[in-house]
Structure formats: C-alpha cells, structure tokens
Structure 1
Amino acid sequence: MITVGVIGAGAIGSCVALSLAQRGVRVHCVDRGRPGGLTTDVSFARLSAYQQPTYQRFELSHTGIMEHTHFAGQFASAPWRHPTGSLAWAGSEGTCGVSARPFVAEIERLQSWGYRISWRDAAKVNQELEPAVSFSPTQTPVALLPEEGWIDGPGMVSSVLDAARSIGELTFTNAAVREIEVRGERVVALRLDNGERIEVDAVVNAAGPRAPAVAASLGAPMLRGIADRSSLVIDLVVDGDPLRHVLRGAELHARPAGPGRVRVRSEQVDSVLTGETESDLGRDNVEDLLGRAYRTIPALKASTVDQKRIGTAVFPADGMPSVGPLSTVPGYYEAFANSGVILAPFIGRTLATQIFTGEVHSLLRDCSPDRLRLAA
C-alpha cells in the first residue's frame, strides 16, 4: 500500500487526503493546529468567481464552485455548503470596492463569460431578498449572482476527514513538520517537531501560509513569485438571522455564519493592514469595520462581537495555484492557492489523479510548482 504524507489539515489538505484515501492510499495527515482551525477557520470562505482579473482565473474559480456541488453529493448531507447566492453593488463612484474598475463593466464581462447574473433595483431587493440591508441611494442597481454562496470551512474539514477515516487508513498527528527527509533526491519521510519520524512514499505540501517554509525544509525555497494578503474578519452574534445572501457591498462584505451569526470584512479596511497582527487588530481598524457593518446592515448595531481575527493567505503572485509535482524532487507535491476553500475539492480530486496517473487537468497546466522555482 502506498503511503502519502499530507502536510496541512485545512480545506485543501483534507480534500487531498479524502481523494487519496478513496484510491486506497494510506494517508498520514499532519498539522500544527486542529483540523480546519487555522487559515480555513478565518477565511471568508465565499464561493465566488466574481472580480477575477482574467478569464483563466474566472474559469478556475467557476469550476471550483461547480465541483463543490458534485463533492457535496458524495455525502449523505453536506451542512457546510450554503448555496445562498450573493448580491453585489457599487458605491457612489460606480466602482468595485477598492478597484477602479467600473462595476457595470465587471458584471457585463462576467456575463460575457457565461456567468449567470441578473439585475435588481435596491427597492426590489429590500422587498424580496434582503430587507435588512440599507442601500444608498435607494435606486442603487444590485447584481444577483445565484451560483454563489459560502462554506463552513471547519465543518467541511471535519466531515471530509471523517469520511477519509471511514474508507481507508488515515491518521492525524497534531504537530509541525520540521523537515521533509530526502534520500537519493527522493522524499522518504517526514520529521516532526515532536521527534516523530513518519516514513512515506510521497508528500503533499498543503500547508497554506506555511507552504513556503515547508518547501524550504526540503531545500527548495520559493524566493520569488509569492504574495500574501491579510484580512480583518469579525464574527458578530445577533438575534435572529438578518442575512440570507452573501453581500459584496460598496464598503462591506458580509455573510451568514450559522444561526444568529454574521461574518464581516471590508476591502477598504484590509487595504490599510500592515501585516502585524497586534496593530492590525487595533481599535481604529475594528471600529472602522464595525462602522461599515452598521451602516450597511443597521440591525447589526444590536449585535455583539464574538471574534475578531486577522487571516493571512499566502499564494503564488500570478494568482494561479501551485498544484502538482516538483520535477527536481520525486515524491514531493504542492497544493496551495489563493481562494483555497473554493478550489479545495477540485484540487483534491485532480491532484490525486495526477499522483496516480500523471494526468494533468487542463485548467492546471500553468500551475506547476516548477514555475515558482524558475522565477527564483
């Protein structure tokens, strides 16, 4: 039986582990935190192909959304998946958030690519879809994107790992990877910070923000071609459920986060973050985000703050994921990406196929980890 080590038990790592287990692989999953409890938990976890800069990235995100539908069908129930649709609208300048791109042009471009979108006026939205949202002006045109939604990331990870355990040999170790051991230029083991050594035939680096550091332990550092993005996310507790859709408003993004809970973030607030967690969680940023939330959804003024956290994503600067083998180190694979929650089931399925057959999905032909080393 083949043994594969999967580093990272977030959205992508868990989906890789399940896809491998379905192929009869013994999987050792390793993460320094609880499964789904780090980056996946802080992610806004929106299923969306909106505001992608190129058709290639749109197509990948759109495929990720559709893959979630098929993926959920593997389970008796998938309470983590919420296909609510989303609503988007522009500010007084007519642009998309902090982007200078005209909002109407963005919607028309998505429609030309085959994305289902319909227009509503704000009054109609308040009457039929979202009575709690305050639009200014009240004649604001609103785009309804029915294919979108959101994912309960930790809930998905828990169910996915349980499914992997039930069909194959999967073990989880709560530890950090100190080194990927290579012998004769081939991966042979994982060495953990608790002193444990796990022998493997291959390893998948799905460590999210720590993926570059894990790669460096292999002796293949990613010196260039990597970007990062921080986001302030606040979870609010409120009476009832004031939201039905994911919102991409002029100054606020918001979504339901379970019964009596709403999650909020803002592109404008995120644009001034420094990357220093303590300062980014300072009073000014938090008050700015809450002020935007209260103006957009007045009912949230009665809410209480449950959690305020900074989420940091690390990904290839070209916006495409790093998925597949590193040609110089047999047995080493990468699986990390921007919008990891959207792409997780798709990456899990296609990477498992590539490990077994060598077949590269057409959407991932430009996603080889080799390109990051060439840039360096």
Structure 2
Amino acid sequence: MSQHTIIIGGGGIGSAIACFLSAASAPGDRVTVVERDPTYQMASSSLSASSIRQQFSTPLNVQLSQFGWEFMRSCTDEAGVAGGAVGLNERGYLFLGREDQTESLRQRAEGNRALGVSIHEFTPEELGARFPWMRCDDLAYGAVGAAGEGWFDGYMLQQLYRSRARARNAQYMRGEVVQLETRGPRIVAAILADGSRIEGDRFVNAGGPWSANVARTVGVEIPVRARRRTIFVVSCPTPLADFPILIDSSGIFVRPEQHHFLCAVVPDEKSDHDDLPLDPDFTLFEDAIWPTLAERIPAFEALRVERAWAGYYEFNTVDHNGLVGQIGPDNFFVAAGFSGHGLMHSAGIGRGVAELLTLGNYQSLDLSPLSPRRLETGQLIVEDAVY
C-alpha cells in the first residue's frame, strides 16, 4: 500500500529527510514538503555558521558528525572536487581549557578517541609554541581535532538535499501548517494558513524553531524554543597563521572566513529569551566577545565588525539534544531541537528517519536514544558541548 508522507519544514533537516526518504520509497509512495519560506532567507540552515565537529560529549553526536562529514565529502562539484558541492573546508576545532575545565575536556577527548576521533592534546607550553599569536598563561589544556572537522556552506547543503529529493519526485510547496487534523489516534491532514488541506498517511514535524507550535496543534508539548544567535563578521589587520576553529575557555566561538573571522557567543541565561526578533545583538560583541578575544589574542585588539546577522537555534531546553521519532498520534514523527548542531547532523538524521519510516526501525545508526519518550522517562542525554 502506497504511503504519502508530509514533511513540515523544508530546511536542512526536513530536506535531508525528503532526500533520503525519496531514495528509499517504494513505487507509488509520495513525499510532500511544506515550507513556509521557500526563499530560505529566514531559515536556520541559511543563517548558520555552518561548522562541523566530532568533539561532543554525547557518543551519538560524535557518530552523527562522522557520517555527516563523510556524506559531505562524497558530494563532489562539477570539477569532481570532494566536498566542493557543499563548500566543505577541513580545519580542526581547538578547545581551550582552564585548570577547572581540564578534567572534563580530557574525559571527553578519551571518549571521542574510543569512537575513532583523531584528537591532538596540548599542554600550555605546546599551545604557545603551536599558536604563537595566542596568550596561554591562564590555560591548562588544549585539544584540537586532527581530521573530520571544519566548515561548509549551509545553504548549499540544504539545496543539495532539496534538489536530490525533487529529482526523485518529492514535491515542495509553499505554505504554513497551522493545524493538524486528527481522526481517532491518527493525523489525517495538514491545514495551511490559506485554508487549504493536504491529506497524508505520515506526518513529520521538522519545523525547527517553530516545531513546538506545530506539535501543540495535536496536544503535544515539546521543549523546543527559538533562541536568537548573533554571528559577527570581523576583520583583523594582522595575519594569523594556522588559525583553527577556536572555542575559547570562555565559550566564545571564532573561526576563519576567507580574509575575515566569524565569531559568536551564547547569551547569558537571563537575556536568552524565546522568539526574539532577528536583529543582531551588538552588545554581545562590545561587552563579551571583543574584550575576551583581545585578551586571548593580542592582535584582536584591533578587531573591526564588518557586518553581523542573527538566526534561530531550535533549542531543546531540557538536554540540548535532538528529538527524533514518533510522538503523540500514531503517525506523527518529530525531528527537531538539535540546539545548534542540526545542520552538521542532518545527513544522519535524514537517513535515520527514512529508515524508521520505511523499515520500522533504524538500520545504519541507532537513533533511539533521541526518542522523545526520554522526556517522559527522564532518561535524558545531556550534551555539554553546546556553543
């Protein structure tokens, strides 16, 4: 019997699911993606810093990054360049730690190595020798990924998923789902803001920052909120050789971007409100990023902001990991709440959800730890490495 799957949200996660599901579907099956913003100007995948790392505290996140890296490497451009179709650049993440942070960072590195991650660790003296432009006197530890980390073009990756899905007859339509219509224990249709109605057999909530609103229409509450994150593009007049993707001991993120740098920091909890307008918060740069980076990297005292933008994290307020699997009505599935690492993990999530829908279980990588049922059982999997 043929199946019609409605995917709510066509960003990085929704389009990845459409890409893998359309490849695995049986003859007669249909996939329809409903996307509220087909320009993707406001999509998290377009507004992301689009980096990928293997250094996580949750083993499953490490494995998702490993598959994500290999998937992106396999995407060759017209010239046959590996990773060229998604703008993949390899550069390791360097995590810096003070004395009080060293033990947890070392434990994470050991756990990552057990999963095949290549990591090089540094003493403060070794850090100073390797990165002479950086002040290290307050540091006790450093760890850098030696392979399989870097950055990519988030928009290009999302469009690659979309084009592959459409080539396999997935249909994309513009619309905003405002209600899911139920009959007994199942959803039978999605109602759009223009009043139109789309019937389906399975419904996947990949609405990102707006996924909680979709879930509430069937009486399901998920702890996913839209949290604003500002990214600054800055310039420095002094060339800095061998610059990694840096996670400072303060939590500030900075990476190269051609002749500039991208930098960001998580706002403090009291000002990190839901659904803030997507206007860049320049106070973060003036009050936190610039003074901290100027201390860490003396040349950064001359940093100049060239431009800035803001996008939403689909933030899981409970344990910072994605919610993936069936929830509520029998034919309702969610893939949301990845808290900033959804795009780098989108290939693994897309593949996994496609397996779940077509085969009834996971085959390649067991995503069951991400099941929304953990919200009821209390068996949370807290991700410490959220930036």
Bin of the TM-score, shorter chain as denominator length: 0.7 to 0.9
Deviation of 1:122 after TM superposition, in Å, equals: 6.0
Instruction: Tell me what 1:363 maps to.
Output: 366
Q: Deviations over 1:254-302 (max 9, x none)?
A: 123x4334221235x4445331636995554331223333444455534
Aligned counterparts, 1:86-97, within 5 A:
86-91=93-98, 93-95=99-101
Q: Deviations over 1:1-54 (max 9, x none)?
A: 5322111222211110101121244322223233374223344443234352xx
Instruction: Tell me what 2:381 maps to.
Output: none
Instruction: Tell me what 1:343 maps to.
Output: 345
Instruction: Tell me what 2:248 maps to.
Output: 249
Instruction: Tell me what 1:80 maps to.
Output: 87
SS at match of 1:360: coil
- Change beyond 3 A, Cα 1:318–1:141: closer
Which ranges in structure 2 are unaligned for 5 or more consecutive residues?
A: 78-82, 379-387
Deviation of 1:172 after TM superposition, in Å, equals: 3.3
Deviation of 1:349 after TM superposition, in Å, equals: 0.5
Letter of the structure 2 residue corresponding to residue 275 of structure 1: H
Aligned counterparts, 1:298-337, within 5 A:
298-300=298-300, 301-309=302-310, 311-315=312-316, 317-326=318-327, 329-337=329-337
Instruction: Tell me what 1:159 maps to.
Output: 160
RMSD between superposed Cα atoms in Å? 3.3
- Change beyond 3 A, Cα 1:31–1:126: farther
Q: Does residue 1:39 correspond to 2:18, yes or no?
A: no
Instruction: Tell me what 2:384 maps to.
Output: none
Q: Percent identity?
A: 22
Letter of the structure 1 residue corresponding to residue 272 of structure 2: T
Q: Is the 8 A contact 1:191 1:197 kept in 2?
A: yes
Instruction: Tell me what 1:266 maps to.
Output: 265
SS at match of 1:363: coil
Q: Deviations over 1:325-358 (max 9, x none)?
A: 23x5232111113221232111110111110110
Q: What CA distance in whole angstroms lies between the structure 2 residues aligned with 1:76 and 1:30?
A: 28
Q: Does residue 1:9 correspond to 2:10, yes or no?
A: yes
Instruction: Tell me what 1:178 maps to.
Output: 178
Instruction: Tell me what 2:32 maps to.
Output: 28
Instruction: Tell me what 1:214 maps to.
Output: 214
Q: Is the 8 A contact 2:135 2:295 kept in 1?
A: no
Q: What CA distance in whole angstroms lies between the structure 2 residues aligned with 1:154 and 1:297?
A: 31
Q: Is the 8 A contact 1:232 1:280 kept in 2?
A: no
Letter of the structure 2 residue corresponding to residue 321 of structure 1: G
- Change beyond 3 A, Cα 1:305–1:102: same
SS at match of 1:275: coil
Deviation of 1:207 after TM superposition, in Å, equals: 1.0
Instruction: Tell me what 2:233 maps to.
Output: 236
- Change beyond 3 A, Cα 1:195–1:74: farther
Q: What CA distance in whole angstroms lies between the structure 1 residues aligned with 2:193 and 2:166?
A: 24
Q: What CA distance in whole angstroms lies between the structure 1 residues aligned with 2:262 and 2:245?
A: 10
Letter of the structure 1 residue corresponding to residue 76 of structure 2: A
Q: TM-score scaled by structure 2?
A: 0.78
Letter of the structure 1 residue corresponding to residue 255 of structure 2: R
Q: What CA distance in whole angstroms lies between the structure 1 residues aligned with 2:278 and 2:157?
A: 31
SS at match of 2:330: coil
Deviation of 1:109 after TM superposition, in Å, equals: 4.8
Q: Is the 8 A contact 1:230 1:270 kept in 2?
A: no
SS at match of 1:366: helix
Q: What CA distance in whole angstroms lies between the structure 2 residues aligned with 1:323 and 1:297?
A: 40
Q: What CA distance in whole angstroms lies between the structure 2 residues aligned with 1:134 and 1:108?
A: 25
Instruction: Tell me what 1:144 maps to.
Output: 144
SS at match of 1:329: coil
- Change beyond 3 A, Cα 1:182–1:12: same
